């Protein structure tokens, strides 16, 4: 997707640099969204979720681990490739640290919010569109604050406010999202 934006905008450095943070954020968001429907679906189909509920480990811990694996397989590779993709989009080097911090705070938040949505729809068949419709309104504030922090840094403003809001959202989601997803899985399987 990033390469298509670079080709579509014709290689003009100013235009690419202006849209680079938003393009990188959208790439991360879409990568996580594409894999979201299958987060718990395979486990529900083969009966693993029932075994999770019978395990001596709390279901919320298992959900948290599964969400961390989802983040590590969808967002972490893009996070590590961000410096290279930023060069492709002529992202100014001064904005790269802010973009990296915003992605490091925002991508786990996206995975945690997505886990709750995936758990809510785990009992439904062909729920890919429903997952997207439920997840996108939750993802918009993360996208706004993540890309907004880089835009603020580009204008010479302080990006710390938006980054702190992302950090606060992540702190709340780390505590509440696994509990909510575990409750949704229990309801779906009962």
State the pLDDT at residue 16: 85
Tell me the pLDDT band of 4, cut-offs 50, 70 and 90.
confident
Least confident of 61-65, 129-133, 158-162: 129-133
Two structure tokens written together for 161: 């406010």
Tell me the pLDDT band of 125, cut-offs 50, 70 and 90.
confident
Given a cut of 80, is residue 11 above it in pLDDT?
A: no
- 19/179: higher pLDDT: 179
pLDDT tens for residues 17-65?
888 899 999 999 998 898 888 889 888 888 889 999 999 999 999 999 9
Given a cut of 90, is residue 71 above it in pLDDT?
A: yes
Handedness of CA 46, 50, 52, 55 (dihedral sign): negative
**Angle CA(18)–CA(20)–CA(26) in degrees, nearest 5?**
125
Question: What is the Cα–Cα distance from 22 to 82, expressed in whole angstroms?
Answer: 12
Averaged pLDDT for residues 155-160: 94
State the pLDDT at residue 18: 87
Least confident of 70-79, 90-99, 123-132, 164-173: 123-132
Are 130 and 82 in contact by the 8 Å Cβ rule? The answer is no
Domains in the chain: boundaries:
2-189
């Amino acid at each position: 997707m990033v390469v298509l934006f670079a080709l579509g905008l014709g290689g003009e450095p100013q235009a690419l640099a202006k849209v680079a943070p938003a393009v990188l954020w959208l790439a991360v968001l879409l990568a996580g969204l594409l894999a979201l429907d299958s987060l718990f679906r395979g486990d529900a189909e083969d009966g693993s979720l029932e075994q999770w509920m019978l395990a001596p480990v709390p279901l919320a811990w298992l959900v948290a681990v599964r969400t961390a694996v989802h983040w590590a397989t969808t967002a972490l590779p893009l996070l590590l490739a961000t410096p290279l993709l930023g060069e492709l989009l002529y992202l100014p080097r001064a904005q790269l640290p802010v973009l990296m911090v915003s992605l490091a705070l925002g991508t786990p938040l996206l995975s945690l919010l997505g886990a709750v949505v995936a758990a809510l729809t785990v009992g439904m068949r062909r729920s890919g569109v429903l997952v997207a419709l439920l997840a996108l309104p939750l993802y918009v504030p993360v996208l706004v604050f993540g890309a907004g922090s880089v835009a603020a840094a580009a204008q010479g403003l302080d990006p710390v406010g938006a980054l702190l809001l992302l950090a606060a959202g992540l702190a709340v989601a780390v505590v509440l999202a696994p509990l909510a997803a575990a409750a949704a899985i229990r309801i779906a399987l009962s």
